[in-house]
Amino acid sequence: MPPELAKNHLPTLPAFTSNSQPATNNSFFSPPPGITTHLMPLTRPETALKWALRINGAITLTALVAVFMPLEWMAQTHNRLGMGPLPQAPIVEYLARTISAMYAIHGGLCFVLSTNVRRFGPVITYVATIEMLFAGLLLWIDAKAKMPALWIAMEAPTVIVVSGVILTLRLKARRAENA
């Protein structure tokens, strides 16, 4: 532990389970032994990063609705977006529900990452970077699939902006940590 943190280190009491036994510190969300990320308050970039991840998580978690919605609703939405009737093949339903589930999983991941932006900093950097690359792939997929122009104009740029904000905040937070 760095000397500047050692003088501010406060002893912590062990957590207890319902049967009054000390809990083991093996939780995925707990910092490793010797790491005390909770002692220092979050910096402004870290707080902003936490909330950006939570907002992104909340929005992408709404895709869970599409995993369970009736296929008829999907067909109506498809038609209202000007893409004609929804093809009635099993692969269409499978892919629509699977991609919705993946977006919901991503939303959950964003919430987990927001619980400790210091500890999960490298993972946040990776996720934001890969999402920016994914946005380029989305642009190509949307164009190749001949998605409506508004869809193409909104989907990839939104992913680039959101992941760019998260990556920028993460890099600012890292600079503040190292300062």
SS3 of residue 37 by DSSP: coil
DSSP state letters, 120-154: THHHHHHHHHHHHHHHHHHHHHHHHTT--HHHHHH
Q: From residue 107, how far is each of 7, 22, 57, 140 by CA, in Å?
A: 38, 32, 4, 23
Q: What is the pLDDT along the chain (179 residues), one digit of tens a residue?
A: 455 545 445 444 444 333 444 444 445 555 555 555 556 899 999 999 999 999 999 999 999 999 999 999 999 999 998 899 999 999 999 999 999 999 999 999 999 999 999 999 999 999 999 999 999 999 999 999 999 999 999 999 999 999 999 999 999 999 987 87
Distance CA 155, CA 135 (A): 8
Q: From residue 95, how far is each of 71, 88, 98, 100, 106 by CA, in Å?
A: 12, 12, 5, 8, 16
Tokens 């000007």: give the residue: 82
Answer for the pair 151, 142: CB distance below 8 angstroms, yes or no. Answer: yes
pTM to 2 decimal places: 0.76
